[in-house]
Structure 1
Amino acid sequence: MASITITKFVHLQIPLEKVLEATNNFHHDNIIGHGGFGPAYKGQLLRSGELMKIAVLRLDRKHGEGDIEFWTEITVLSDLKHPNLVSIVGFCDEKDEKIIITTYEARGSLKEHLNSSNLTWTQRLKICVGVARALSYLHYDEGRGYGVVHLNINSSTILLDKNWEAKLSGFKVSIKQPVNRMDQVVLSEPIGTIGYMDPTIEKTKGVTNKSDIYSFGVVLFEILCGREAYMKNEANRFLARLAKYHYENKTLNDIIHPDLRNQTSLLSLVKYSKVAYSCLKEERTHRPDTNSIVKKLEKALELQLRRENLVRPIF
């Protein structure tokens, strides 16, 4: 991998001393999160004469993550450019340190805001549309010749910028596939986060782009219900199972975040919950593709905005 580093990624290399300077020697006050990869820090880096805010992911060897994940993330992020994907600033591979530097997203992860009363239904819909567009770009972008199966879609890898725009991150286990083979099974161990994992991985011994769709369906219900996908000490630990049960019994209202009940346009909610439910279908072939998910979520947002314009007082 060293030779590839020197040639293809030389423009992304950032010296360790600059990273230490940017994060105040990885000061614990600058920690903004802990992922499977290791701790993430915020910092400020001087680029082209301007101070920019950055997020610094520092590989923690104790977590058993390694070089493959590190290089996968760099390779994928350096190739991809989309308004709803996190942007790579650079990386550092020096003195036993492996560090990935991306743009800093001011609002942190979606997970931190799931239960927030301040995050309106309209904002939540816009976040969903953003993630769906990012997924559509990963799976089907014509200009690339290959698709990317993310395999790590969850409310922690969806970051939010200061305007609440979604930025998808966390590409360390993603897989590249020729575009015409996106729906073919890639042999794989069960990869992902508990509560979001495609249940058919065990059966088929592998993943497809429809594995991302399942995980995204779980996120859609997290956003609607204001709770996490997996809650260890709850009777209904797994949100996917709970959401499917209530959807099928037409009692979804019982688990929707209480603050959202009065905000949602009924038509918007029907459209949204239908697409969320279809993402969780047991059979992969019955799950929708990302392009149709984008259209349906955009429609749910449009119906919501139409209602808001009707109910907003006019002075």
Structure 2
Amino acid sequence: MEVFLDQFQDLKHFELKEIKSITAKSDDNKVTREGGSGKVYSGVAFKRLNLISNSGQGNPKFVKEIFMLSRTHDDLISCVGFCSEDDEKVVVYEYEYHGSLDCHLNNMSVMLMQCLKIYFVVARGLCYLHGSKETHQRVIHRDIKSSNILMDENWNAKVSDMRL
């Protein structure tokens, strides 16, 4: 497993103690959002994979997630690092400043052209995932919703939470 992870030299290898120092504190002020697949902390998004020890699925799922999300695509959230120590498997994602789209849907200042741009970006990201030509692996998102569309500091949309 570790030999396979060595191919991801562009990604930061986080130590478990680094992640625990950020996430293990019971300071709820650091948690900006919590979802079914992980917590988002101010400045960094971590996803701790739920590994079922008896299934043998943990390591392949972890490697697949890193493999797919380390391939950069402008319309998808990117993996910036990971931790694989002991029984812990954590994926670290880029942090998107404006959070998820669902927090902005009632904002009347969001213009029609911005909405169309977001729809186009989401469609292009899903096309990339669902088509196997570029990735050589077809991934069906299965959970597309406004809370899984993240907005960066320039209000560009990114598809997240592929649940690979």
Distance 1:69 1:111, change over 3 A: farther
Question: Residue 55 of structure 1: which of 37, 40, 45 is its match?
Answer: 45
Higher helix share: 1
C-alpha displacement of 1:101: 0.8
C-alpha displacement of 1:91: 0.7
1:242-280 residue CA offsets vs partner (Å, 9 max, x unmatched): xxxxxxxxxxxxxxxxxxxxxxxxxxxxxxxxxxxxxxx
Cα distance in structure 2, aligned partners of 1:60 and 1:146: 23
Higher RCO (CA-CA < 8 Å; seq separation 6+): 2
Distance 1:98 1:28, change over 3 A: farther
Match of 1:147, SS state, is coil
Say if 2:129 and 2:135, in contact at 8 Å, map to a contact too.
Answer: no
C-alpha displacement of 1:90: 0.5
Question: Residue 91 of structure 1: which of 64, 82, 90 is its match?
Answer: 82
TM-score of the superposition, structure 1-length normalised? 0.44
Distance 1:140 1:60, change over 3 A: closer
C-alpha displacement of 1:60: 5.5
Over the aligned positions, Cα root-mean-square deviation in angstroms equals 2.8
Cα distance in structure 2, aligned partners of 1:61 and 1:39: 16
Task: Please identify, of 136-145 and 27-36, the stretch whose mean Cα deviation from structure 2 is larger.
Answer: 136-145
Match of 2:128, SS state, is helix
Distance 1:71 1:157, change over 3 A: farther
The reply on whether 1:135 has 2:126 as its aligned counterpart is yes
1:131-177 residue CA offsets vs partner (Å, 9 max, x unmatched): 1111222233644444332222222211111221111111223xxxx
- Give the aligned partner of residue 16 of structure 2: 16
Letter in 1 for 2:74: P
C-alpha displacement of 1:77: 0.6
Which structure: larger Rg? 1
Higher strand share: 2
When the two structures are aligned, how many residues end up with a matched partner?
Answer: 158
Match of 1:40, SS state, is strand
- Give the aligned partner of residue 69 of structure 2: 77
Matched-pair identity in %: 39
1:21-62 residue CA offsets vs partner (Å, 9 max, x unmatched): 55684742121222221322233xxxxxxxxxx322234679
Structure 2 residue runs without a partner (length 5+): none
Match of 1:106, SS state, is coil
